[in-house]
Structure 1
Amino acid sequence: MTTEQCWEHLARGTVGRMAYVDRDGPVIVPLNYRVAEGRIWVRTASYDQLAIHLPHQQAAFEVDHVDEHAHTGWSVLVRGHAEHVVAGPGETPGDWPDPAPWPEGLRWMTFALFPTTVTGRVLHQADVSPATGQGRPGSIQRHPATPAGPASR
């Protein structure tokens, strides 16, 4: 997937997952977001773990879509560093995107993820054939649908 296609997919979504590291290791949290100015924008509460551990840190953000019936989908991964964008309580300046969090409670802290890399992949259904003595009974073997196989990040 091209970088432009990745941003198009990101711009259509409203929920993704932010990954960061706290004192116990990697953490991934779902949250609402918006895309503007080549950044991912999120809001959280000042007491939330995200607000405590995200500022000035490396982080990753992922959005994807999967069609389980068709065995197809796409995934976009944004890596970069997060910065707290200063604004007053309940204030999002007019030219900033409002990520509009779904959970109850006040979420006044606005963060922007400044990307260093944006990658994506499209998932295509593989050619599935019955197992031929390999694996467990009833298992299937997957063969790439194209000579190059599924796209990778």
Structure 2
Amino acid sequence: MQIDNLGVIGAGMMGAEIALIFAMSGKSVMLNDTSQDRLDEALNKLSATLDAGISRNFWTEEDKAITLSNIALTTNLEDFSECHMVIEAVFEDAAVKGEVFKKLDNILKPNCIIASNTSSISITVLSANVSEARQKNFVGSTSFPCT
């Protein structure tokens, strides 16, 4: 399965940087959070991260422009309906994560991969929030901040 369209839920440090890594690799990424203000703040931080890399000659202004153009912002989970993979990076609370997964279960394509960025909650516990058919595409994918 080719993964070209990704969704990331949670625009805090982890979610925003996960979105950045995929966008830098040329993937289309939709970044979601509960408010436009949080999304705008995340995009500003990502821009500053890229600027720091430009100042150290890691990449160019053109790389920055391309990367940022690969990131779309949304407060609506329904916008993830065409994603090939969705990565959850919300607050580390099983109930909060569970509610996100229940919503996604009704929105995503049947073969969409769901990944949780949890660092402490059992994937078995989290995957119980989606249909049995979707559980085979539910994975743990813990990332660490790159800045």
Give me the TM-score of the superposition, normalised by structure 2: 0.28
User: When you count helix as a share of all residues, which structure comes out higher?
Assistant: 2
